[in-house]
């Protein structure tokens, strides 16, 4: 029988039961490999449930640093009898099945083309421990112990991690080390070596291992957000929770113990965005974090903030839609809902982070953009980036960086007799000046409303006033193009006819696919879009190629629609490549889809009697 | 010609400019403003509308309180009442938000700058239906604000539909009978933890002005439900929100005199006639009791008193409840004294060294 052999390049998937403490044990496994200098990319695939339903944890070990989901499983660790059949099916031929052999399993439920490793994990655990909670938690550590032995993971790294986790808790530390060794000893005495192996490398460098939601929260701390109003919703709740954690550490006045921030858990998303709008109106940097259904609820307020021109930052950690959709699965399916949120003619600025590093960067930048442009800014993260720990560049902050508070007219300027028109375009960029409430006893006060107004904020239904305002908003959106992050080009090694456009969490899988396609002789230029509105570079890039694949994690090709609508791109040149089953897009999927389409395109001209 | 009035869409006649010439004899208050400085644009509401009387009471209260007009932020939702902030405090920043959600916007504004005075103006259509949730939660949180509900039991801007505060059995102008139980915002405010609760009547300015002054000075969530008859759609026989009905059924529990903290109390009262309550900020509320058994510091008793009288068709007005130990949201959150909107990068950005430490903890 064939045997998958690999050093530092394989996928281990754990099948567990939700609420059993498995996720922390599996994370420990991933971290230990990371500490050996080998990059890993873990993904928690969990149900919308607290306890009892199936959950999976996938760890990709990748010396090359390919952090996207690869697809396929080299080793399955099955600790959940409920999902046995589907888990066994998923293993690549020649792969390995590690299972709990405490109870006999009929031969028919195995496969002949995989290597089976049975270990009586429950039995070993129950013999060693009597307390039920202890049994539940330490069972996980026992199988991790066995895996370290099988895969040659240095147990010293795990012990170091225990030491960090249980600092000052000797008893817990000892119990965990003991359980780890129970697993190691059994594996050493009873299990055969396998051909998957971790070897120490120096491939991690100074990278950090963090989830995108924590990174976005940290970006809000560094970007100067003082007001956070939120309502719990998966997969965004941990943004606000991380903001609470970081502000408690970083934003408390050392002399008085007072807080340089205010966080309110609102009664719903209608209220959370309302509070953000109120704070933004009054000159504080504010944000909320939400996901699809929250965006639907916030849409009326987003329209108000757009039309009344109030800064607001919305971190949208996208999940599967529509409606409640797939709350614990990932998609990029809110692109259009956010780009055009509200009734009437509206357009909103979107930022697309590729990883936690950009979640940090773009959240901080969004706070600047919101005040510069006086409008809502969306940070379009997703569950794959937001809730999984990802290896990425370390966060950086330039000490000379100032907050851009935008066009704010001061009391001094008003006293000097400066003409103040709240909605007056004084310098052609479409952005008017604003005053903070309470600025001046007799000048600069104005009435904010969602209804139409003239340039001096007076209520007006005159067509000319309305048109002036809408045209100015268009100019402002044009100005936004020069402020949002530029797309990033990855040029092929050789001149390429084909191109690809991608964004957000598709990035690591795409980069891996580009390499894989190049090995097959398919060269593509790839452009990662980082923001909407689209800069001219994007239309130029599309125009320079006969066919452009647009990679998206939604069914409708939402970014493609936006490109056609907003960048004046011919639909004929765009080919949608869509992945929308709720799992993160894989390099294998992209490679296969593009290779297939390229071969089809390459034969068609001959058949149609055209010159290729 | 048929004119359709759509909710939130009644044109405001801003071309009606007010004369800016001030009469030299207009007296100035301690902060140097005349009463005229507290006025706004000319109202576009119907002549005789109760809401305009409330605007006048707000103007009077702010002038007498020596509040600098621009230090007040006035926010509203959607509806006739929510249009009124344009008709007072013309130099203040105002915000006409979305239907029923003034409380959340006001909460955010208040979080951003704790130093301004926040006045929320809403109506029964705005607060008792779509806004019921936000009304309740803004009370729970103790947002330091004055929440004035201009309550007429009817949707005026859309021409006369019942609102949720309309009494069961009351009749619309067209003769329809309301079958739904009424929502009592005063009782709801008491249940939800408002620390200042009053009810007034737009037709009784001597009661209303000190009520507004005391509410503005109160540190915490203050609500005043003001019965404000709608002349156009709800002032007929069979309505329980008409001028006549409210006058006949008004049961004022007390008369209020209010002194800001710095002012000397000058009025004289007979012995046993008044209860003196000192608020958080040192200001003093003096209550001349009209009902001997009414104690405005007893929240539970206040609720039953209001309900007992409501069952008899009576409308209890006055200062209904006052918690002098109120704490506002900023105190609960432990925020810095300086308004959050004045903090800059020096106070907010932890810097690159702290970030390096965070990076190190993530390896």
Residue B269 has pLDDT above 90, yes or no: no
pLDDT of residue B1: 36
For range B27-45, the mean pLDDT:
94
How do residues A66-118 score in pLDDT, each as one tens digit? 999 999 999 999 999 999 999 999 999 999 999 999 999 999 999 999 999 99
Residue A318 bridge partners (DSSP): A382
* Predicted pLDDT at A610: 40
Phi, psi of B95 (to 5 degrees): -145, 110
Least Cα distance to A63 among A196, A215, A211 occurs for: A196
Helix (H) or strand (E) holding B12: none
Q: How far apart are CA A403 and CA A401, in angstroms?
A: 7
Q: How far apart, in whole angstroms, are the C-alpha atoms of residue A193 and residue B87?
A: 83
pLDDT in tens, A222-277: 999 999 999 999 999 999 999 999 999 999 999 999 999 999 999 999 999 999 99
CA-nearest residue to A211 within chain B is B362
Instruction: State the Cα–Cα distance between residues B254 and B197, nearest whole angstrom.
Output: 13
Q: Is B67 on the interface with A (CB under 8 A)?
A: no
Q: Is A399 on the interface with B (CB under 8 A)?
A: yes
pTM of the predicted structure, to 2 decimals = 0.95
Q: How far apart are CA A524 and CA B149, in angstroms?
A: 64
pLDDT at residue number B203: 94
- The confidence score (pLDDT) of residue B105 equals 98
Q: Is B354 on the interface with A (CB under 8 A)?
A: yes
Residue B353 touches chain A, beta carbons under 8 Å: no
Find the residue in A nearest to B86 (Cα).
A447
Distance CA A292, CA A88 (A): 34
Q: What are phi and psi of A439, to 5 degrees?
A: -70, -45
What is the side-by-side order of every strand in the sheet holding A498-502? A488-490, A524-528, A498-502, A547-552, A574-578
Report CB contact under 8 Å: B358, A395: yes
pLDDT of residue B287: 85
Which residue stretches of chain B are H helix? Answer: 50-64, 80-83, 102-112, 124-125, 132-141, 185-192, 205-217, 243-249, 299-311, 329-333, 345-348, 351-361
Is A519 in the B-facing interface, judged by CB distances under 8 Å?
no
Residues of B in contact with A443 (CB under 8 A): 91
A210-392 and A488-607 have identical folds: yes
Whether chain B has a CB inside 8 Å of the CB on A336: the answer is: no
Task: Render pLDDT for A285-307 as a digit per residue (tens, 0 to 9).
Answer: 999 999 999 999 999 999 999 99
Per-residue pLDDT band for B276 (boundaries 50, 70, 90) equals: confident
| Mean pLDDT, range A210-226, rounded to an integer | 98
Interface of A with B in 175-204 (CB under 8 A): 204
Per-residue confidence at B22, pLDDT binned at 50, 70, 90?
low
In this predicted complex, what is the ipTM? 0.95
Average pLDDT over residues A487-497: 95
Pairing label, strands A524-528, A498-502 = parallel
Question: What average pLDDT score do residues B57-82 get?
Answer: 96
Largest interatomic CA distance in chain B: 76
CA distance A528 to A358: 13
Altogether, the residues listed in chain B come to a count of: 363
Interface mutation vs chain B, best among A161, A278, A341, A376, most B CBs within 10 Å: A278
pLDDT of the residue at B258: 87
Chain A residue nearest residue B137, CA to CA? A267
Interface list for B 163-192 with A (CB within 8 A):
none
DSSP code of residue B230: -
Helices A22-35 and A132-151, axial angle in degrees (round to 10): 30
Domain locations in chain A? Answer: 6-197, 210-392, 488-607
- Smallest CA-to-CA distance from A379 within A363, A361, A392, A395 is with A363
Q: How confident is the model at residue B291 (pLDDT cuts 50, 70, 90)?
A: confident
CB contact, 8 Å: A262 with chain B?
Answer: yes
- Of residues B68, B93, B335, nearest to A437 (C-beta): B93
Distance of CA A393 to the CA centre of its chain: 15
How far is A347 from A539, CA to CA, in rounded Å? 18
- β partners of residue A350: A378, A532
Alpha helices in A381-486 (DSSP H): 383-386, 411-415, 463-481
DSSP string of B77-103? -SSHHHHGGGGB-TTSEEEE-STT-HH
Interface of B with A in 291-320 (CB under 8 A): none
Q: Which residue in the block uniquely carries the two structure tokens 């034969």?
A: A603
Q: What pLDDT score was predicted for residue A457? A: 96
Bond preceding residue A392 cis, omega within 30 of 0 = no
B220: nearest Cα among B133, B298, B147: B147
The whole-number average pLDDT for the span A584-609 is: 83
Alpha helices in A495-608, H assignment, sequence order = 507-519, 536-543, 558-566, 587-607
Lowest mean pLDDT among A117-121, A165-169, B22-26: B22-26
The alpha-carbon gap from B274 to the nearest alpha carbon of chain A, in Å, equals 37
Query: Does any CB of chain A come closer than 8 Å to the CB of residue B141?
Result: yes
Say if residue B19's pLDDT is above 80. Answer: no
With CA atoms as reference, report the closest residue to A205 among A449, A37, A20.
A37
List the CATH code of the domain at A6-197: 3.40.920.10
Residue B77 to residues A270, B94, B104, B332, Cα–Cα distance (Å): 14, 11, 10, 26
User: Residue A52: pLDDT band by 50, 70, 90 thresholds?
Assistant: confident
Mean pLDDT of B281-300: 86
List the Cα angle A327/A331/A337 in 5-degree steps: 90
DSSP B137-172: HHHHHT-SEEEEEEE-SEETTTTSEE-TTSPTT-B-
Answer yes or no: are the C-beta atoms of B226 and B212 closer than 8 Å: no
Continuous segment of H or E residues that includes residue A168 = none
Q: Is A562 left (phi over 0), alpha (psi -120 to 50) or beta?
A: alpha
- Chain-chain contact of A274 with B104 (C-beta, under 8 angstroms): yes
Residue A40 has pLDDT above 80, yes or no: yes
Q: Which two tokens stand for residue A553?
A: 């994690």
Q: Quick check: A469 and A452 in contact, CB under 8 A?
A: yes
Pairwise CB contact (< 8 Å): A267 & B352: no
Give the residue, B265 or B2, on which the prediction is more confident. Answer: B265
Per-residue pLDDT of B336-351, as tens digits, reads 999 999 999 999 999 9
pLDDT in tens, B157-216: 998 999 999 999 999 999 999 999 999 999 999 999 999 999 999 999 999 999 999 999
Cross-strand bridge partners of residue A59: A12, A42
- Which DSSP helix (H) or strand (E) runs through A581? none
Residues 454-483 of A with CB under 8 A from B: 458-461
CA distances from B355 to A207, A222, A387, A402, B350 (A): 13, 9, 21, 16, 7
B160 and A CB contact within 8 Å: no
B281 Cβ contact partners less than 8 Å away, ≥ 6 residues apart: B217, B219, B261
Residue among A391, A394, A594, A383 nearest A505 (CA): A383
Q: For residues A17 and A15, give the distance between their C-alpha atoms in angstroms, rounded to a whole number.
A: 7
Q: How far is CA A365 from CA A215, A348, A371, A402, A520, in A?
A: 13, 15, 10, 11, 39
The conformation of residue A252, written as its DSSP 8-state character, comes to B
Whether residue A96 lies within 8 A of chain B, CB to CB, comes out as no
Q: How far is B210 from chain A (nearest CA, A)?
A: 24
Instruction: Report the distance separating Cα A225 and Cα A101, nearest Å.
Output: 53
Alpha-carbon span A218 to A312, nearest angstrom: 17
Please tell me the distance from the alpha carbon of residue A223 to that of residue A227, in angstroms, as a whole number.
12
> With an 8 Å Cβ cutoff, are A281 and B141 in contact?
no
Task: Among 3.40.50.720, 3.40.50.920, 3.40.50.1820, 3.40.50.970, name the CATH number for the domain at A488-607.
Answer: 3.40.50.920
Distance from CA of B333 to the nearest CA of A (A): 7
Sign of the Cα torsion B58, B62, B68, B72 reads: negative
Q: How many angstroms separate the Cα of A397 from the Cα of each of A218, A357, A385, A471, B117?
A: 11, 12, 21, 37, 37
B340 touches chain A (CB under 8 A): yes
Q: Tokens for B260?
A: 């800001």
pLDDT of residue A608: 44
Residues 8-37 in B contacting A (C-alpha not used; CB under 8 Å)? 8-9, 11-12, 14
Q: Which has more confidence, B110 or B263?
A: B110
Contact flag B341-A458 (C-beta cutoff 8 Å): no
Q: Does A435 touch chain B (CB under 8 A)?
A: yes
**Minimal Cα–Cα distance from B310 to chain A, Å?**
30
3-state secondary structure of A85: helix
CA atoms within 13 A on the CB side of B170: 27
Alpha carbon of residue B296 to chain centroid: 18
Contacts of B223 (CB under 8 A, 6+ apart): B139, B147, B148, B149, B185, B186, B189, B194, B196, B197, B198, B215
Residue A121, number of CB atoms within 10 A of its CB: 24
Ordered structural domains, chain B, with CATH: 35-341 (3.40.50.970)
Residues of B in contact with A274 (CB under 8 A): 97-98, 101, 103-105, 107-108, 134
In CATH, what is the architecture of A210-392?
3-Layer(aba) Sandwich (3.40)
How high is the mean pLDDT of chain A?
Answer: 96
CA B237 to chain centroid: 28
Whether residues B96 and A264 touch (CB distance < 8 A) is answered with: no
CB spacing of A284 vs B341 below 8 angstroms? yes
| Chain A residues whose beta carbon lies within 8 Å of the beta carbon of residue B109 | 278-279, 281-282, 437
Beta strands in A383-460 (DSSP E): 389-392, 447-449
- Tell me how far apart the alpha carbons of residues A185 and A181 are, in angstroms, rounded to a whole number: 6
Query: How does residue B281 score in pLDDT terms, banded at 50, 70 and 90?
Result: confident
What six digits make up the tokens of B90? 């013309």
Q: Could you give the count of Cα atoms lying within 13 Å of B1 in the half-sphere of its Cβ? A: 3
Would the CB atoms of B94 and A447 count as touching at under 8 Å?
yes
Q: Could you tell me if A271 and B137 are in contact, meaning their C-beta atoms sit under 8 angstroms apart?
A: yes
């Amino acid at each position: 029988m064939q045997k998958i052999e690999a050093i530092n390049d394989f996928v281990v998937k754990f099948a567990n039961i939700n609420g059993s403490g498995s996720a922390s044990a599996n994370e420990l496994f991933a971290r230990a490999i990371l500490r050996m200098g080998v990059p890993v990319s873990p993904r928690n695939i969990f149900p919308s449930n607290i306890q009892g339903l199936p959950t999976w944890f996938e760890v990709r070990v990748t010396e090359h640093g390919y952090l996207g989901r690869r697809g396929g499983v080299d080793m399955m660790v099955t600790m959940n009898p409920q999902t046995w059949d589907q888990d066994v099916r998923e293993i690549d031929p020649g792969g390995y099945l590690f299972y709990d052999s405490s109870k006999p399993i009929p031969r028919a439920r195995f496969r002949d083309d995989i290597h089976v490793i049975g270990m009586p994990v429950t039995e070993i655990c129950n013999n060693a421990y009597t307390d039920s909670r202890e049994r539940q938690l330490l069972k996980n550590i026992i199988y991790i112990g066995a895996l370290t032995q099988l895969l040659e993971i240095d147990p010293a790294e795990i012990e170091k991690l225990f030491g960090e986790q249980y600092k000052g808790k000797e008893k817990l530390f000892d119990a965990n080390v003991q359980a780890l060794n129970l697993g190691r000893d059994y594996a050493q005495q009873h299990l055969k070596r396998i051909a998957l192996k971790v070897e120490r490398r120096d491939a991690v460098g100074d990278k950090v291992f963090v989830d995108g939601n924590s990174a976005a929260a940290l970006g809000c701390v560094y970007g100067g957000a003082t007001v956070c109003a939120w309502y719990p919703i998966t997969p965004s709740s941990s943004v606000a929770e991380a903001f609470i954690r970081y502000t408690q550490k970083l934003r408390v006045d050392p002399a008085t113990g007072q807080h340089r921030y205010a966080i309110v858990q609102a009664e719903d998303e209608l209220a959370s965005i309302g509070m953000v709008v109120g704070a933004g109106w009054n000159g504080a940097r504010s944000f909320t974090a939400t996901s699809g259904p929250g965006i639907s609820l916030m849409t009326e307020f987003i329209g108000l903030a757009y039309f009344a021109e109030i800064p607001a930052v919305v971190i949208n950690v996208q999940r599967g839609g529509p409606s409640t959709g797939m709350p614990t699965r990932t998609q990029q399916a809110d692109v259009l809902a956010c780009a055009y949120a509200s009734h009437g003619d509206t357009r909103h600025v979107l930022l697309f982070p590729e990883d936690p590093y950009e979640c940090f960067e773009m959240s901080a930048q969004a706070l600047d953009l919101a005040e510069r442009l006086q409008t809502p800014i969306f940070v379009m993260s997703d569950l794959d980036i937001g809730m999984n720990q990802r290896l990425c560049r370390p966060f950086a902050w330039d000490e000379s960086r100032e907050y851009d508070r935008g066009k704010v007219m001061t009391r001094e300027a008003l006293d000097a007799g400066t003409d103040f028109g709240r909605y007056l375009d004084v310098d052609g960029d479409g952005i008017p000046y604003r005053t903070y409430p309470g600025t001046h006893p007799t000048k600069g006060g104005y009435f904010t409303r969602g209804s139409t107004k003239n340039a001096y904020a007076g209520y007006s239904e005159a067509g000319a006033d309305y048109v002036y305002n809408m045209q100015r908003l268009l100019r402002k959106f044009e100005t936004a193009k020069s402020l949002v992050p530029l797309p990033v080009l990855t040029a092929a090694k050789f001149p390429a006819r084909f191109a690809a456009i991608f964004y957000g969490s598709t990035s690591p899988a795409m980069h891996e696919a580009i390499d894989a396609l190049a090995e097959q002789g398919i060269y593509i230029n790839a452009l990662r879009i980082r923001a909407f509105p689209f800069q001219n570079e994007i239309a130029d890039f599309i125009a320079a190629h006969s066919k452009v694949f647009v990679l998206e994690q939604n069914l409708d090709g939402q970014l493609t629609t936006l490109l056609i609508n907003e960048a004046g791109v011919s639909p004929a040149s765009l080919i949608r490549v869509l992945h929308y089953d709720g799992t993160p897009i894989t390099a294998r999927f992209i490679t296969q889809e593009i290779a297939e389409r390229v071969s089809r395109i390459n034969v068609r001209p001959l058949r149609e009697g055209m010159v290729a | 010609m048929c004119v359709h009035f759509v909710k939130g869409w009644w044109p405001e006649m801003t071309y009606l400019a007010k004369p800016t010439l001030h009469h030299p004899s207009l007296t100035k208050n301690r902060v140097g403003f005349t009463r005229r400085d507290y006025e706004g644009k000319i109202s576009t509401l119907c002549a005789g509308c109760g809401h305009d009387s409330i605007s006048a009471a707000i103007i009077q209260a702010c002038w007498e309180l020596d509040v600098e007009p621009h230090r007040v932020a006035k926010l509203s939702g959607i509806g006739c009442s929510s249009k009124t902030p344009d008709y007072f405090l013309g130099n203040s920043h105002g915000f006409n938000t979305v239907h029923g959600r003034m409380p959340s916007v006001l909460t955010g504004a208040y979080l951003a700058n704790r130093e301004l005075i926040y006045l929320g103006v809403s109506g029964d259509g705005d607060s008792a239906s779509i806004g019921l949730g936000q009304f309740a939660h803004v009370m729970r949180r103790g947002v330091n604000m004055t929440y004035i509900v201009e309550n007429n039991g009817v949707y005026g801007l859309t021409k006369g539909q019942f609102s949720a505060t309309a009494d069961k059995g009351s009749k619309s102008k067209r003769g329809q009978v309301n079958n739904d139980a009424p929502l009592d915002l005063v009782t709801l405010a008491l249940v939800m933890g408002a620390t200042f609760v009053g009810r007034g009547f737009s037709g009784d300015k001597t009661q209303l002005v000190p009520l507004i002054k005391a509410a503005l000075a109160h540190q915490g969530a203050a609500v005043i439900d003001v019965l404000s008859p709608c002349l156009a759609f709800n002032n007929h026989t069979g309505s329980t929100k008409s001028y006549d009905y409210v006058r006949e059924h008004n049961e004022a529990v007390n008369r209020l005199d209010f002194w800001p903290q710095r002012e000397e109390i000058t009025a004289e009262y007979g012995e046993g006639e008044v209860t003196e309550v000192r608020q958080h900020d040192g200001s003093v509320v003096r209550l001349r009791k009209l009902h001997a058994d009414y104690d405005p510091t007893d929240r539970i008793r206040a609720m039953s008193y209001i309900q007992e009288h409501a069952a008899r068709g009576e409308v209890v007005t006055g200062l209904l409840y006052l918690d002098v130990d109120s704490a506002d949201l900023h105190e609960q959150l432990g925020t810095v004294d300086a308004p959050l909107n004045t903090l800059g990068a020096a106070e907010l950005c932890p810097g690159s060294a702290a970030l390096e430490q965070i990076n190190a903890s993530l390896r």
